[in-house]
Homo-oligomer: A and B are copies of this chain.
Amino acid sequence: MRIGLVGLGKMGANMRTRLRAANIEVVGYDRNPDLSDVPSLAGLVEELPAGERLVWVMVPAGVPTHAVVEELAELLAPGDLVIDGGNSHFADDGAHAATLAARGIGYLDVGVSGGVWGLANGYGLMVGGDEAQVAAAMPVFDALRPPGPRDEGFVHAGSVGAGHYAKMVHNGIEYGLMQAYAEGYELLGASDLITDVPGTLKAWTRGTVVRSWLLDLLVKALEDDPTLGDISDWVEDSGEGRWTVDAAIDAAVPVPVISAALFARFASRQDDSPAMKVVAALRQQFGGHAVKSSGQPT
């Protein structure tokens, strides 16, 4: 089997390696010629068998993915198949599918989880789209997913958009899980009783209710840097946590934990919180409580 792969960044390059290890031929294209196997998207298309081409798109969500889908709609032929494995918003999938369907080209959206560890361990895959198209791409999915029973690392979750929706929710959960461990870590450190915080976390990796892969990673991070002294408390968010809360609001689903985790990240990036200045100002107004002036040492 020979497929095309568009986007050879960190994730795309690793996936190409994993696919090739499974004896799937991969023609990779990246707009950076140093990374690319072919000089252009058109060149990539030419390397694949018309009418049964499979092109996996792994570029940033939004404009870059839109652009690739539009170009592929021009280049591909009826019967070909495009798979968007990037972190697109699920609401984009319908339009992408329609654009391609107008030319007889299939479309699947795939949520891909596993990060840098996916190369070695395999990637968790959530797929949206038509049954027949999913079946056609199954050899690719089987190569990418972790070894073991297929249904433990792969799901055909529903119609077009379901793959990215599922991945979005996956990431929302991830925000909540990480924040839960983070709060627990801070609480361990706040007690004079606990003299071995990293050891306590490590002891949770077998037998306990809270054991998980994220906990294993935290133990690993603490082995490298037992106090996390080299890491800032400034935390980025990649957008999928925001989408999760937005989707929850649309559906009137209460998500107090996922939203709290998202807001903790927002707050972590503020040098100076306008909101908390208001609270300080109000306390000063009604109580004559002392405030810290912004100029004084803290």
Contact = CB atoms under 8 A, between A and B. Distances in A.
Contacts of A270: 254
Interface in A204-226: 204-215, 217-218, 220-222, 225
Interface residues of A, number: 147
Contact of A249 (B208, B229, B246, B278): B246
18 contacts: A113-B207, A122-B207, A126-B200, A162-B195, A169-B184, A170-B204, A173-B181, A182-B276, A183-B257, A211-B212, A214-B282, A231-B284, A231-B293, A232-B291, A233-B280, A234-B280, A236-B290, A242-B250
B263 A124 contact: no
Contacts of A210: 113, 170, 173-174, 177, 212-214
Given A188-B169, A256-B263, A286 B217 contact: yes
B257 A206 contact: no
A28 interface: no
Contacts of A186: 253, 273-275, 278
A158 B194 contact: yes
A279 to B, nearest CB: 5
Interface string A246-278: 111111111111111111111111111111111
B180 A257 contact: yes
A264 B279 contact: yes
Interface stretch (A50-58, A59-67, A132-140, A148-156): A148-156
Main secondary structure of the interface of A (DSSP, over half): helix
Complex copy number for this chain? 4
Contact of A183 (B125, B176, B231, B246): B176
A102 interface: no
Contact of A148 (B206, B229, B248): B206
Nearest to A254: B263
Interface of A: 10, 90, 113-118, 121-126, 128, 145-146, 148, 151-162, 165-166, 169-191, 193-196, 199-200, 202-215, 217-218, 220-222, 225, 228-238, 242, 244-296, 298
Given A203-B125, A293-B230, A294-B229, A266 B253 contact: yes
B155 A199 contact: yes
